[in-house]
Structure 1
Amino acid sequence: MNLDEIIINIDFEDRTGLGYEIFEVCEKNGIDKISMEVIPDQGMFIKMRAIEENKLTFLQDLKGIKGVNKISFRNYMPYESREHKLNTILNAISEGVVAVSENGEIQHINKLACKIFECASEEALGRGADELFGKNPPILETLQTGRSHRLIERKIRRNQKFIRILTSSDPIVDSKGNVIGAVATIKDFKDVEEIISKVDLKNGLTTFDDIIYQGSKMKYLIEMAKTVARGNSTIMLRGESGTGKELFARAIHMEGNRANAPFIAINCAALPDSLLESELFGYEEGAFTGALKGGKKGIFEQANNGTIFLDEIGEISPSVQVRLLRVLQEGTIRRVGGMKEVQVDVRIITATHRNLEEMIKKELFREDLYYRLNVIPLTILPLRERVEDIQPIAEHLLRKIAKKLGKKEVWLTTESINLLKMQAWPGNVRQLENVLERVMNMMDGQVITLQHFYDWTDLSTPILKAENHDGEEFTIRVPVNQQFPSMKEIVAQVEYQVLSHVLKEHNSSRKAGKILGVSNTTILNKMNALGITSTVK
C-alpha cells in the first residue's frame, strides 16, 4: 500500500441514507477519496489520501453516525486483494498467460509471459495484443470468432531478435454466452524442446505379462506379437482409440533384442510440423532462431539401437513423410539445417486409428511409405469384440483406481459385470476406466451394483438393431434391470422377439429357418420351447 494512502473498513447496519451521511462527513473533514467498495457482510471500504491534522475528528464524526458499528484500518482494498491473489496464481503457472479485454487490450500478463516477451508488465498492460504478439495474433481471432486455437507457432521480432513461441487461446464468455475477452497461454519454443527431450528411457515400460486378458482372441494376438517382437521389421498397430496400442508397442520392445536400449514414444498429432521435424531428426546450430548452441540430437539419434513408437502416424505432413521414408530406405538421418548424413539403427513401431488406405487414395499419405511401415500389421481388437476380457480388465482397473484414490478394494456384482459386457464401449479400455473411476469416486461401500451405474453413468439397457427381409430396421430390447435375469433368460427373450418378428412376416418354418440360418426343425423346436403359437407351413 502507498504510504500516502490509508484504507478504512466501516462495519455498519444497513439503513436508508447511511451512505450519504458518510460522504457528508468525508466532505466536512476535507477527505480526498480515491476509491470505495461495499461488500455484504464485510462492510464499506474507503481508500483515501493520508490525513493527520483532523484524523481524530474525522473518525469521531464517523462513529457518531447512527448505524456505524466499528471502524478499522486495512492494508488493501478488497479488489486489490483479489488482484493480488490472481497475480499470485498466474505467476505460479508454468506457462506464460496473457488476457485481453473485449476491445483487445491486455488486462493481465504474468511474470513468465513478461520473461518470454522480454518486457515489463507496465509496458504490456493497456496495449493492444498485436503490439505484443505481432500482426494478426491468434488471441484476437479467438476474440472475434469465439473459436479456440491450440499450439500455433509464431515468430515475433523484439529487441532486434526473434522470439519463437507456441501459443494457445480460448475465449472468455459471460453468463449469456457473449465473448467478453480472451486468454492465451504461451510456451517458449526452447522450453518445449527441452521438455520433450527429457524422456525417461527405462521407466514405464510394459511386458506382455502386464496385458490383461483371458480370451482366445487376445491370446492369439499376443503370441503373434511375441513372435514378431524378436525381429527388427517395422510393425504397424491398428485399432480404435483406447485399445492399448502404446501398451503393445512397449511390450513388443521389451520382448525383443532391443529391450536394454532406449524406447521413445512420440504422439505425431500433438506437435506442429516444424517442432515434430526438429524433434525427430534434430537440428544444427543456427538452423533457426532460438536453436541451441551446438545443435541438438533428434529422437532418432537418441533412440539409436532402440525403438521409436510413432503414435498417430496418419497425422504427419507430406514433408515429414518424405524424411521418414528416407530413414527407412537408407538408415540415415540429416538434421534440420545440416548437410551430414548420420547413420541410425532404430526399430520403428507405428500406430493409427485412421484408414491409411483411404488416405492413400486421396493422396494424403504416401503409398511407398505405407508399404515400408506396414511390414507387420497387428490389429488390436476393440472391447466389444472380446467380451470375455471385460471382467478381468475391469477388476484390474478397480484395483488400480482404488490405489490411486486411497480407497479400499471394491467388487462388482454378477449383474454389474453382465451390464459391462453388454455395452458397445466406443472408447474401449480408456472409457471403461473412466466409468469405473467415476463410480468409485461417488460410491460408499465396497460393492458396485447395477444401481451405481444407472445413477452415475450413462450405461443403460442395450438395444440391438436388426433388419427384416425388406431391409426395414427394427429394435430388440435386451432386458436389464435391478433384478438382473440370467444370461440364459436374456438369450431366450431375444430369440423370442426375433423369431416372433420373422414368423409374423413369413408364416413358414422353412423360410424362417433360411432367413435365420438354421433348419426348419430347429425353428419348430424353438417355437415349442419359447411358447410361440403360430400356424406355420
Structure 2
Amino acid sequence: MREFIVQIDFEDRPRLGYDVFEVFEKHGIDKIAMEVGSVDGMMIKFRLAEGQSGEPLLSDLASLSGVLTVRFREQMPYEEREHELKTILNSVSEGIVAVNRDRKITHINEVACGLFHVTEKEALNLTADDLFTGNPPLVETLATGRSYSLMERKIRRNGHLIHFMTSGVPVLNKKGQIIGAVATIKDFRQVQEILSKMDKGRRLTTFEDIICQSEEMVGLVGAARMVAKGSSTVLLRGESGTGKELFATAIHVESPRRKGPFVAINCGALPDSLLESELFGYEEGAFTGAAKGGRKGLFEQAKGGTLFLDEIGEISPQVQVRLLRVLQGGAVRRVGGGGEIPVDVRVVAATNRNLEEMIRKGEFREDLYYRLNVIPLQIPPLRERREDIPLIAQHLLRKICARLGKDEVRLTRETVEILSAQDWPGNVRQLENALERLVNLVDAAEILPEHLYAWTDIGKEKARAAAGNGDGSKQGERQGVRNGGGTLDVRDAREDVLHVEIPKQGEWPPLKEIVAQVEKEVITRVLERYPSSRLAGQVLGVSNTTVLNKMRAYGIH
C-alpha cells in the first residue's frame, strides 16, 4: 500500500464534504486522515493499492460542483507543523523533554536523546520516571504546577553517570488546567564550559594596564613578565591597595595557561569551614546543606589555569595544612571525601602581612611559606614611587569619568603636585576613592587645589607644613587655617602689607588706580613670603589662576 495526500481547494457549499467522501467510496479508497483549513482548503490522506492509479480519483473530485483545484501535496499540515516543531527543538543547545498529564514523554530533542543515551523512538515509549529515574522534579511540577529552575541532578542510567542542570514549567490549557510539563536540560560540562568562556570573555588586566614610569616599577613589571612564562608559584607582597591582583591577572594573561580559567578568592573574607569547601570542594552529605552530588572546589575549577589566593596570610593553621598537602602532592581531597583528585593549576598568592614575623610567632607554617615563596615579587607603595602618581591619577580620572558617564576632567599642575606629595597609606585604592569623590562633587573641567581642600583631607597637613616653614618670626604667627575650607589666611595683614599714602585734597587719583595699587602691593608682599602661585592663592582665598592673571597684569615676576 502506498500513501498519498490530496489538497482540494473549493468554494464553500452545503454537502461538499459528503460528496467528496462519496467519490472516495466509489473508488474503494481508504482514507487515513483529513484536515480542513481556512487557507489550505481540504486535505485528505489516503492509501492506494499497488498498481492502483489515483488519476481517476482526482478527475472525479475535480468535477464536483464548487471544487476549484485538486492536487497532490507532500505532507499534511499537522505533519508540517510537527516537522517544524522538531526542527526548532533540535536547533537549540539545551535538551528539551515534554510530557503529558500521564507523565508519558511526547516530545524529546536530539540533545536530550544524546544526554540520556536513548533514541527518540525509545524515549517516546518512556515516562518521566523512566527517563529521569528517582524522583524527578518534573513529576512534582505536573502535580503542583510549580516551576523549578537550574536544579542540579546526578543520575545513573544504562551504566552512564549523567550530571545535568534542569529547569521545568507546567503546560496549561485555556482554563488554566495542567495538561503537561516541559523540562530543559543542560549537560553540567556545558555549564562549566559557559562559565569558563564568561571568565575568559571578561577582559583581564595585562601588563600594559599597569601604569608606571618609576625605575623600580618598570623593573618589577619586567621581572613579572619573565616569571609569567613559567609555572612556578608566585607570592606577591605589598601593602593593601598596591595592585597585587592586577599583577596576578597580568601574570595569568601572559602565561602558557592564559586559555584556562583565572579563579580568584579572598582567603580573609570567608570563615574556615566555608573556605575549605570553596577551595577543596565537598562530597555529597559532607555537611548539612551540602548540594546533592557534591561540588567541585576552586582548585578543580581552575584546571589548566591560575588560582589566585589573595590575603593568604589570613588562613587558619587547619587550612594551611590542607593547602600545603595540595601544593606538595598536586592533588586535592574534597571535604568528606576519601580519594585524591589530581589538579593541574598554577598558584599565585598575595599578602600584605609580614609572613616572616608570623612564622616567628607560630602563626604561619614555615614549610607552607617556602612552598608559596618560590618567586616573591614585592610591590612598592605609592609613597616610594611618587613619580608614578601623576600618570596613575590621570588614568584613574579617565576611567572614573567613563564609568560615571561624565565629561572628562583634568588635574591642574598644582593639583598634581599636591597629590604627589601625599603618603597615600591606602595606596592606589585610596587615590581612586579620593578622585571619584571629586568627580562626583566638582562641576568643573579642572580639579583645582581648592577642590582638594574643600572636599577631602588631602593636602591639609602639607599646606600647613609649607606655610609653617620659616624663622618662627611674625610671619609664622600670622598663618592659620580657615575653618571648613582648609585654606590659609593671614591675620591682620593690613599692618605690614597695606601702605597707601593719603594725598592732599584735590590730588586723589581715580579709585580704580588706588585699588590696583593696593592689590599689586598685597600680591607682591604675599609672594615674597610664599613664592608659589598655589600657596599665594591659598593665603588670599583665590585660585592660583587668579594669582597668575594678576601677576601678568601688574608685571610681577
Q: How high is the TM-score relative to the length of structure 2?
A: 0.48
Q: Secondary structure of 2:377's partner?
A: strand
Q: 1:198 to 1:364 in 2, by over 3 A?
A: farther
Q: What one-letter code is carried by the residue in structure 2 that aligns with 1:423?
A: Q
Partner SS for 1:258: coil
Report what 2:308 is aligned to.
309
Letter in 2 for 1:380: I
Question: Take 1:414 and 1:424, find their aligned partners in 2: how far apart are those partners?
Answer: 18
Supply the AA of the counterpart residue of 2:273: S
Corresponding residue for 2:218? 219
C-alpha separation in 1, matches of 2:397 and 2:299:
38
Contact 2:281-2:294 at 8 Å conserved across structures: yes
Deviations 1:272-312 (A, max 9, x none): 11111001001111111111111111110111111000000
State the one-letter code of the partner of 2:413: T
Q: Distance in 2 between matches of 1:377 and 1:395?
A: 30
Q: Within 2, Cα distance between the matches of 1:445 and 1:221? A: 37
Aligned match of 2:134: none
| Identity fraction in percent | 63
Contact 2:355 2:364 in 1 (8 A): yes
SS at match of 1:301: helix
Instruction: Give me the whole-angstrom Cα distance separating, in 2, the residues matched to 1:341 and 1:427.
Output: 42
- Structure 2 counterparts to residues 369-408 of structure 1, below 5 A: 369-408=368-407
Separation of aligned partners in 2, 1:485 and 1:233: 59
List per-residue Cα deviations over 1:160-183 (Å, max 9, x = no partner): xxxxxxxxxxxxxxxxxxxxxxxx
CA distance in 2, matches of 1:430, 1:436: 10
- Between the aligned partners of 2:391 and 2:461, the Cα distance in structure 1 is 22
Counterpart residue number, 1:258:
257
Name the amino acid aligned to 2:383: R
Question: Secondary structure in 2 aligned to 1:266?
Answer: strand
Residue 456 of structure 1 and its aligned partner are, at CA, apart by 0.4
- CA distance in 1 between counterparts of 2:254 and 2:527 reads 44
- In the aligned structure 1, how far is the partner of 2:298 from the partner of 2:323? 12
Opposite residue 386 of structure 1, the aligned amino acid is R
Whichever residue aligns with residue 268 of structure 1, its letter is C
Report what 1:144 is aligned to. Answer: none
Look up the match of 1:364: 363
Which residue of 1 is the match for residue 414 of structure 2?
Answer: 415
1:443 aligns with 2:442: yes
In 2 relative to 1, CA 489–327 (structure 1 residues): closer, same or farther, beyond 3 Å?
farther
1:20-59 map, 5 Å: none
Q: In 2, distance between residues paired with 1:221 and 1:417? A: 24
Letter of the 2:219 counterpart: Y
Structure 1 counterpart of 2:283, one-letter code: E
- Residues 59-208 of structure 1 mapped to structure 2, 5 A cutoff: 200-202=198-200, 203-208=202-207
Q: 1:376 to 1:422 in 2, by over 3 A?
A: same
Are the equivalent residues in 1 in contact too, given 2:285–2:292 (CA < 8 A)?
Answer: yes
Give the deviation of 1:201 after TM superposition. Answer: 2.4
* CA distance in 1: counterparts of 2:423 and 2:455, whole angstroms: 18
List per-residue Cα deviations over 1:190-226 (Å, max 9, x = no partner). xxxx9xx978522141110111112211110000000
TM-superposed deviation, 1:485: 8.9
C-alpha distance in 2 between matches for 1:355 and 1:381 = 14
Post-superposition shift, 1:464? 7.2
The residue that corresponds to 1:344 in the other structure is 343
Aligned mates of 2:437, 2:384 — CA distance in 1:
24
Please list the CA deviations of residues 22-66 of structure 1 after superposition, one character each: whole Å capped at 9, or x if unmatched.
Answer: xxxxxxxxxxxxxxxxxxxxxxxxxxxxxxxxxxxxxxxxxxxxx
Name the amino acid aligned to 2:401: A
Distance across 1 between alignment mates of 2:527 and 2:329: 62
Measure, in 1, the Cα distance between the counterparts of 2:300 and 2:323.
13
Runs of at least 5 residues in structure 1 that lack an aligned partner in the other structure: 1-193, 466-476, 494-537
Task: Report the equivalent of 2:228.
Answer: 229
- For 1:234-245, what aligned pairs fall within 5 Å after superposition? 234-245=233-244
Aligned position for 2:291: 292
Q: Kindly provide the CA deviation profile for residues 359-394 of structure 1, in whole angstroms up to 9, marking residues without a partner as x.
A: 111111100000000011101111111111101111
Q: Distance in 2 between matches of 1:317 and 1:198?
A: 30
Q: Deviation at 1:439?
A: 1.0
Structure 2 match to 1:84: none
| C-alpha spacing 1:485/1:298, structure 2 compared with 1 (3 Å) | farther
Could you tell me which amino acid in structure 1 is paired with residue 436 of structure 2?
A: E
Asked whether 1:277 is paired with 2:261, we answer no
1:406 deviates by 1.4
- Determine if contact 2:381/2:427 at 8 Å carries over to the other structure: yes
Aligned with 1:426: secondary structure? Answer: coil
Which residue number corresponds to residue 458 of structure 1? 457
Q: What residue is the counterpart of 1:319 in the other structure?
A: 318
Distance 1:464 1:356, change over 3 A: farther
Give, in whole Å, the separation in 2 of the partners of 1:375 and 1:363: 21
Q: Secondary structure at the match of 2:394?
A: helix
Alpha-carbon distance in 1 for matches of 2:314, 2:214: 33
Give secondary structure in 1 for the equivalent of 2:235.
strand
Q: SS of 1:309's equivalent?
A: strand
Q: RMSD of the alignment, in Å?
A: 2.9
Change (3 A) 1:234 1:426: same
Aligned partner of residue 237 in structure 1, secondary structure: strand
Q: Distance in 2 between matches of 1:452 and 1:198?
A: 44
The one-letter code sitting in structure 2 at the alignment partner of 1:248 is F
CA distance in 2, matches of 1:485, 1:408: 35
> Letter of the aligned partner of 2:276 in structure 1?
E
Alpha-carbon separation, structure 2, partners of 1:452 and 1:404: 21
How far apart are the structure 1 equivalents of 2:527 and 2:429? 28
Distance of 1:335 and 1:201 partners within structure 2: 24
CA–CA separation in structure 1 for the residues paired with 2:274 and 2:531: 57
Q: Give the equivalent residue in structure 1 for 2:110.
A: none
Structure 1 residues 201, 359: closer, same or farther in 2, change over 3 A? same
- Name the CA distance, whole Å, in 2 between partners of 1:404 and 1:230: 33
Q: Deviations over 1:497-521 (max 9, x none)?
A: xxxxxxxxxxxxxxxxxxxxxxxxx
User: Are 2:453 and 2:487, in contact at CA under 8 Å, matched by a contact in 1?
Assistant: no
The whole-number CA distance in structure 2 between the counterparts of 1:311 and 1:464 is 38
Contact 2:326 2:332 (C-alpha < 8 Å) held by counterparts: yes
User: Which residue in 1 is equivalent to 2:111?
Assistant: none
1:399 maps to a residue whose letter is R
What do the CA deviations read for 1:322-371 (whole angstroms, capped 9, x no partner)?
Answer: 11101111111111111111111111000000111111111111000000
Deviation above 6 Å: which 4+ runs of structure 1?
Answer: 479-486
Q: Secondary structure at 1:345's aligned position in 2?
A: coil
SS at match of 1:201: helix
Question: In 1, distance between residues paired with 2:364 and 2:396?
Answer: 37
Amino acid aligned to 1:412: L
CA gap of 1:455–1:246, structure 2 versus 1, over 3 A, is same
TM-score w.r.t. the length of structure 1 is 0.50
Counterpart in 2 of 1:353?
Answer: 352
Quickly say closer, same or farther: Cα 1:485–1:318, change in 2 above 3 A: farther
